Each structure stands twice: as structure tokens, then as C-alpha cells.
Amino acid sequence: MKELAYVLINPYITYKSRTGGVISRLLSRSAKLELVGARMFAPSQELVDEYLKALSDDHKNDGASRIDDLIYNYVKNRYAPSHDGSKRRVMLLVFEGENAIEELNKNVVGSIIREYVGETIRDTYGDYIEDEEGNVIYFEPAVIVSQTPKSAKKHLNVWMKYAEKDSGILENIAFPENADVQKTLVMIKPDSLAQSKTRAGAVIDLFAKTGLRIIAIKVIHMTVEQAMEFYGPVRQFFVDKFADKVAGKAKEALEGAFEFDIPDETVQLIKEQLKVKNADNEFGKIVSFMTGCDPWKTPENEWPVASKETCLALVYQGENAIEKIRNQLGSTDPNKAAPATVRKEFGRDVMVNTAHASDSPENAEREMGILNIAENDLIEIVKKM
């Protein structure tokens, strides 16, 4: 039976930029499950209190264990706002699949008390340390998950209740005065999520080298309509970029078909006639790659329909974020990208090049708006539970 399961990536893990590694484990070790939603939260005290009550009620019904108490106290102390009022960042991921909760707990997240070194998320990123008398002196579970479908539904409803005011694009991070603080969008493309279950996390790990903070995340199934608008600015660029190639191909093809030189006037005429059509063909390839739908063969009334292709959008914030992310992304052509950049490591060609990043603050805002990054689509997903 299909069910929803959630994973909360703890504030300490996000702060230490271990998010990519955790996501890699989640995606690669849960091949039977689908990532259906993701959202960043900055939990208020009210959200934390209600979540704690839900955890406590579960423990009363099932019988609290020492581990349950540790989890309860961890959430109480590590999820609530700091003494100075600043809020912590928590990443919520939602998965769907057959026996999703058991699959995540047993095969992916693992036990609090280490059983197999390096096998699960908690083996690698969690800590449970006792002193000689058996007292727990350090505890970091890395992620929080539910134990049953009933508790998952209850807990997710609590998080959705506070989603409007406690989640979305988090911009409450303090920066030095006069710092050039920017937001930028990164979109991990369908090839990265389809070809390798670990690649999306590895890409996030590489971007972590910038020192920027993730302040938003969303699973995107881009519509043709969104893709047409998102990549719209490159449409005219393709007209100008490929015009001379159109002329060269036309001249070569015609001279191959006839036994005489083709006049330049004829070549220029063909160029003017075909340059837009050629550009639209190249533009259509991008839209097809991102959505799985050829825009020129898809009826316009179907353009607003979400595609089956999956992207993962993230918003980073920090000083000079645009430049830092694009430097780490690398050249559009992976063959020309610098070593240790995202596209050099994972890109194949100028289209299948792993990820997109905004090239200016203005375009970042435009692109975030097109993808509705601030909108919470998890509410509808959770309602279906």
C-alpha cells in the first residue's frame, strides 16, 4: 500500500552543509520511493510546541522508550528559536511509495544506536555517545522521521498548519552591515535526478563549497508553459547565434545537390527565411528536455499541465551569491568547465549539463516567480493521505 513518509533534516546538519550527503542517501537507498515534495522551514515556538505534543501523544500511546525521550528533548532544544530569537533552518522532505515509513526507517535512516558502520544516514551523520556510566553525553540523530503511517499523517498536518508563516523562502539570516547579500536560484535538471540517485546530493555538496545558505527548496514538475517562459530569453539569442550556421548548412546542402555555386544573395535569403524556425527548433529541444514534451507538438491547452520530469529547485542566499554559484556551476559547455565544478563533474553537453543557475538578481527573482517557489504545494499532497 502506498503511503507518505516525511524526513526532517535537522538544523545542525543543514548548518554544517551536510544536506547533500543526507539527500544522496535518501534518494539512493530508497529506490522504491519517490520524492514528491520538499520545503524549508524556520520553526516558530508555536510549531515546535505542537509538534512536541504530537510526539508526546505518540509515545504515550505506544509506550515511551529512552530513544523517544532523546528525540523529544532534541526537538525541544534544537528546533525552537535560539535565545536571541533567531530561527533555525529545517528541511522537510516528503516521500511516497509502498510501505514508505518502514522502508525509510529500516533501510535508509537507520537506528539511533549504531548497528552497521556507514550503512545508513544515522551511521554516517548521526552520533550517540555515552559515558562509562551509560549517560548520553552527546546526541545528534541527523534526521527525524515518523514510526507509523498514523503518526506521519498527524505530524505532517502540524507542519502544514504552520507552513504559511514558518516556511517558504527564508530570509531571516543575519549578515554583516553593507554586505552584498543576494538570492539565487539553482535548478537541478531532470538528468541529474533520473540517471543517478546520488547525483542530486553530490551536486548540492559541491554548491556547499560556496558557503551560502539554502533558504528554499521545492520539487518541480515543470509545465511546458513554465518552460517556455523560463527559457524565453534564450529564444531570440538562438536566432542570432545560429543564423550563420543556418546559412552555412544551406549553402553546403544546396551545393551538394547542384553542380554550381549558390549565390550569396540566395544563401542570405534562405538564412532570413529559416533562422527563426531553426532557433525555435533548438528552443523546443530545451523545453522537451525539461518537460518531456515537444512544445510544437503539444496542444496549447495542455501547456499548463505538470510534466512527469522531475527537477529540484533550491534558493541560496549570501554575499555575492550569483557569482559564487555560477563559478561553482561552471561553463555551459561541460568540456570547457573548470575542474571540480558541477558541470565538469557531471555534465555531458550544453543541454544535458546538470543544473541551471540564475545569472543576475533580477533573473533570480523572475525565475523564482515562474516556478512559484514560495507556493506551498505540500498542503495538497498531505491532504491526500
Predicted pLDDT at 171 = 86
- Picking from 326, 320, 360, 11, the residue whose alpha carbon sits closest to that of residue 176 is 320
pTM of the model: 0.92
What three-state secondary structure class fits 63?
A: coil
- Residue-level length of the chain: 385
Predicted pLDDT at 63 = 55
CA distance 59 to 278: 64
The answer to whether residues 181 and 319 touch, using CB atoms and an 8 Å cutoff, is: yes
The answer to whether residues 242 and 278 touch, using CB atoms and an 8 Å cutoff, is: yes
Task: State pLDDT tens for residues 227-262.
Answer: 999 999 998 888 888 888 888 888 899 888 998 898
What three-state secondary structure class fits 126?
A: coil
What single-letter DSSP state applies at residue 208? G
Kindly state the cell numbers that stand for 356. Answer: 541551471
pLDDT bucket at 210, cuts 50 / 70 / 90: very high
Q: Say how many CA atoms lie within 13 Å of 30 toward its Cβ.
A: 32
Predicted pLDDT at 251 = 86
Task: State pLDDT tens for residues 284-309.
Answer: 999 999 999 999 999 999 999 999 99
The answer to whether residues 92 and 159 touch, using CB atoms and an 8 Å cutoff, is: yes
What three-state secondary structure class fits 319?
A: strand
Task: State pLDDT tens for residues 171-203.
Answer: 877 777 778 899 999 999 998 888 677 899 999
Kindly state the cell numbers that stand for 55. Answer: 510526539
The answer to whether residues 330 and 347 touch, using CB atoms and an 8 Å cutoff, is: yes
Domain architecture of the chain: domains with CATH: 2-167 (3.30.70.141), 227-302 (no CATH)
Strand order in the sheet with 90-98: 34-41, 90-98, 2-9, 143-145
**DSSP assignment string, 10-40:** PHHHHHTT-HHHHHHHHHHS-TTSEEEEEEE
Mean pLDDT (whole number) for 267-275: 88
Mean pLDDT of the chain: 92
Predicted pLDDT at 272 = 87
Task: State pLDDT tens for residues 91-131.
Answer: 999 999 999 999 999 889 998 876 656 679 998 999 989 89
